[in-house]
Structure 1
Amino acid sequence: MMEPPSSMRSPHVEMKSLQLDDRTELESADSGIADVDELPVPQHILISNITCDSFKISWNMDSRGQDRITHYFIDLNKKEDKSSNKFKHMDVPTKLVAKVVPLPMTVRGHWFLSPRTEYTVAVQTATKQHDGEYAVSAWSEIIEFCTADYSTIQLRQLLQKAEAIAGRVLPFTIFYRNQQREYFQPNRDAQCFHMLPSVKDNSGSHGSPISGKLEGIFFSCNTEFNTGRPPQDSPYGPYRFQIQADLLFNQNTNIYFGDFYCMYTSYHYVIVVLAPSNSKGDIFCRGKLPALDRSNNCFLSCTEEEDGSLSFHHAQDVILEVIYTEPVDLSLGMVSQISGHQLMSLSTLNAKKDPSCKICNISVGR
């Protein structure tokens, strides 16, 4: 069960699975069947064209015995667990068998390849014999590589899923950020009256290109439908900074879709990025994230009215996390204590996405 359905299969490669648990068993099962010294050992393994769920592999071989090779064996393991091939989907092994094809050869499959994950790979050459067993060469050297982030193609698939559940929109007028009191103290850093961007943590989708890379400040804008005001509860602290929406989101601000995920709960989170035009954050997002129409999208919109004023709306049926990519002057807003509780269970800090959710996962993995 190496490959996805035939419609997704590489036209040059046919992959099958071997029901074996580790490399030692593979060698002991096959090495006595034929003279393995006659088969060349792959050398100088090269990994290229890496995506979030595929890669190309090629190698060099001695000419001796090449005409006997009928198959290649590929041993793929997550780097953090080299001694085991155990994956979440136990029916999908990582011992792969490919019929001989011209190199480089594409290895593709979201069932065993996750984005932004380190793997090791080694290769054998093999000959299938009349009794159906294989004679194999020695294993090649072990090569390490890391799969890539989601591309804009995968992010657009995720965007479409998020748009399907965003629901109706509600008006709002302020962005807010909750923290502990010390966070807002004026002597907390060299730029003493500013909140400064920091690198986003690894919460959300495993393949999102903003995790661990994009610098920004998290804000919320969600309101309670019955009051039209921000909720009084927060998982991040009892003190809240509030700023008028038009100071962060206006005609000079570009908006991007960043992620869509849940944490084993019934409610879902959408991350959008607000980046002033031509800022460092804006340059980072171009080409990496799907751009949204500022005045017409399902999640967070800014519309200019006839009198020149701006009106703002947010999606009702998802929890929006807004990343603003530039420093924010504390003097532009106000800090006050909220009356609600700290609901730590709602924190998304380094939260892991539910990989089994059919609503917020796409075919390339978590």
Structure 2
Amino acid sequence: AKVAPKVLASSTGSLFGSESAGSRIGDVDHLPVPQRIQINDITCDSFKISWDMESGGRDQITHYFIDLNKKEDRSSHKVKHMDVPTKLVAKAVPLPMTVRGHWFLSPRTQYTVSVQTAVKQPDGEYVVSSWSEITEFCTADYSTVQLMQLLQKAEAIAGRMLPFTVFYRNQQEYFQPNRDAQRCQMLPSVKDNSGSHGSPISNKLEGIFFSCNTEFNTGKPPQDSPYGPYRFQVQADILFNHNTNMYFGDFYCMYTSYHYVILVLAPNGSKGDTFCKGRLPVLDRSNNGFLTFTKEDSGALSFRHAQDVILEVIYTEPVDLSLGTISQINGHQLMSLSTLNAKKDPSCKICNISVGR
């Protein structure tokens, strides 16, 4: 069984301290059963809950029992109600009540909740009402507050900046010579579910992944890839220039020493730019710890990337293949480094924040 969080409702209605139910729980027919449960003000690690109750027996209520679970099969959930006492015990306070706590709420996760009213007896035991109906809800993505926490953690390990000149992308067959006319463009696709569980861009943002990391000894892109032997390469200033806004999207690892930072490059005013504004922290193009450009005396732009993280750059608009070159790399493929739908290590102290994975 899951270890239950310890909770106690304050006079303001927030659940934070601890109290556990007694070992013997009886039913009181005249205690009102919560009805029409309402869930509001949902964040990545909190929500407000309220419900209606009949007036009869309301004055006796001393506590609320709240059964909060990640969504499972409904039939098995109902069996659990008959056999297992509730996990959360809250003092009866004015509704709505705020439930928060990163120990038991994860971002972007489906939950079920049901409620009982209860009376605490002089011997410390409880008598309870019947369970309410089960209500379902989903927690929210990380807010910009949580993303700023991730950003600060990423900045702490980014390392010194190294020069680079091109963005590149590898695929298995996308760039074959017999591609049809439409494939003269790379088209954005929806980002997968890799990385932090609460990242607002997963399964929502459309874009094209590029890399820009270089080999330390050559200053050029590496001659291997987990994504395929065909490489499209484009000069950095075509995708990243004064008309491009840059956003921080995520910071994660996959049970290895490698850490990944996702950046979003969105042309000003584009669909991707509109999506990112208000959702993601914006980065200064010439002054950040991950990816920068500066204007030289000649007017050309020079580019640098962070040494100690692997950058995954999402460009939000179609890219014409005529803007770059296609070649086949000579190195072997490192499939173990693929981040496709990769799950973040929830135990890593370097890239996790207090509100979940």
1:31 corresponds in structure 2 to 26
Change (3 A) 1:105 1:187: farther
* 1:100 paired residue among 83, 92, 97: 92
2:14 corresponds in structure 1 to 13
Q: Report deviation, 1:165.
A: 0.3
Change (3 A) 1:297 1:14: closer
Change (3 A) 1:17 1:216: farther
Q: Which runs of 4+ in 1 moved over 2 A?
A: 1-6, 9-20, 80-85, 185-192
1:303 corresponds in structure 2 to 294
Deviations 1:302-348 (A, max 9, x none): 11122211010000000000000000000111110101011100000
Q: Does 1:134 align with 2:129?
A: no
Q: Report deviation, 1:38.
A: 1.7
Q: Does 1:261 align with 2:256?
A: no
* 1:322 paired residue among 310, 313, 328: 313
Structure 2 spans left out of the alignment, 5+ residues: 79-84
Structure 1 spans left out of the alignment, 5+ residues: 21-25, 86-92
Number of equivalences: 346
Query: What's the secondary structure of 2:237's corresponding residue?
Result: helix
Name the TM-score, length of structure 2 as normaliser. 0.92
1:224 corresponds in structure 2 to 215
1:281 corresponds in structure 2 to 272
Does the 8 Å CA contact 1:54/1:147 hold for their aligned counterparts? yes
2:147 corresponds in structure 1 to 155
Q: Report deviation, 1:231.
A: 0.6
Q: Report deviation, 1:188.
A: 4.7
Q: Does 1:168 align with 2:160?
A: yes
Does the 8 Å CA contact 2:63/2:92 hold for their aligned counterparts? yes
Deviations 1:185-240 (A, max 9, x none): 46656633100000000000000000000000000000011110111010000110
Q: Report deviation, 1:84.
A: 7.0
Does the 8 Å CA contact 1:171/1:228 hold for their aligned counterparts? yes
Q: Does 1:125 align with 2:128?
A: no
1:59 corresponds in structure 2 to 51
1:88 corresponds in structure 2 to none
Alpha-carbon separation, structure 1, partners of 2:302 and 2:11: 49
2:82 corresponds in structure 1 to none
Deviations 1:101-133 (A, max 9, x none): 110000001111000000000000000000100
Alpha-carbon separation, structure 1, partners of 2:240 and 2:15: 51
Name the TM-score, length of structure 1 as normaliser. 0.90
Does the 8 Å CA contact 2:7/2:89 hold for their aligned counterparts? no
2:5 corresponds in structure 1 to 2
Alpha-carbon separation, structure 1, partners of 2:219 and 2:8: 48
Alpha-carbon separation, structure 2, partners of 1:189 and 1:155: 40
Change (3 A) 1:187 1:277: farther
Deviations 1:133-173 (A, max 9, x none): 00000000000000000000000000000000001010000
Q: Report deviation, 1:17.
A: 5.0
Does the 8 Å CA contact 2:35/2:52 hold for their aligned counterparts? yes
Alpha-carbon separation, structure 2, partners of 1:3 and 1:190: 61
Alpha-carbon separation, structure 2, partners of 1:290 and 1:5: 34
Alpha-carbon separation, structure 2, partners of 1:321 and 1:178: 12
Alpha-carbon separation, structure 1, partners of 2:256 and 2:354: 20
Alpha-carbon separation, structure 1, partners of 2:180 and 2:149: 40
Bigger Cα displacement from structure 2, 72-81 vs 263-272: 72-81
Alpha-carbon separation, structure 2, partners of 1:196 and 1:12: 49
Q: Match of 1:357, as an amino acid?
A: C
Does the 8 Å CA contact 1:127/1:134 hold for their aligned counterparts? yes
1:23 corresponds in structure 2 to none
Alpha-carbon separation, structure 1, partners of 2:327 and 2:48: 55
Q: Report deviation, 1:80.
A: 3.0
Indicate the percent of aligned positions where both proteins have the same amino acid: 79
Change (3 A) 1:186 1:49: farther
* 1:45 paired residue among 25, 34, 37: 37
Does the 8 Å CA contact 1:235/1:345 hold for their aligned counterparts? yes
Does the 8 Å CA contact 1:10/1:106 hold for their aligned counterparts? no
Does the 8 Å CA contact 2:13/2:96 hold for their aligned counterparts? no
User: Which aligned pairs between 1:72-87 and structure 2 lie closer than 5 A?
Assistant: 72-80=64-72, 83=76
Query: What's the secondary structure of 1:164's corresponding residue?
Result: helix
Q: Does 1:291 align with 2:282?
A: yes
1:196 corresponds in structure 2 to 187
Q: Report deviation, 1:44.
A: 0.4
Change (3 A) 1:211 1:4: farther
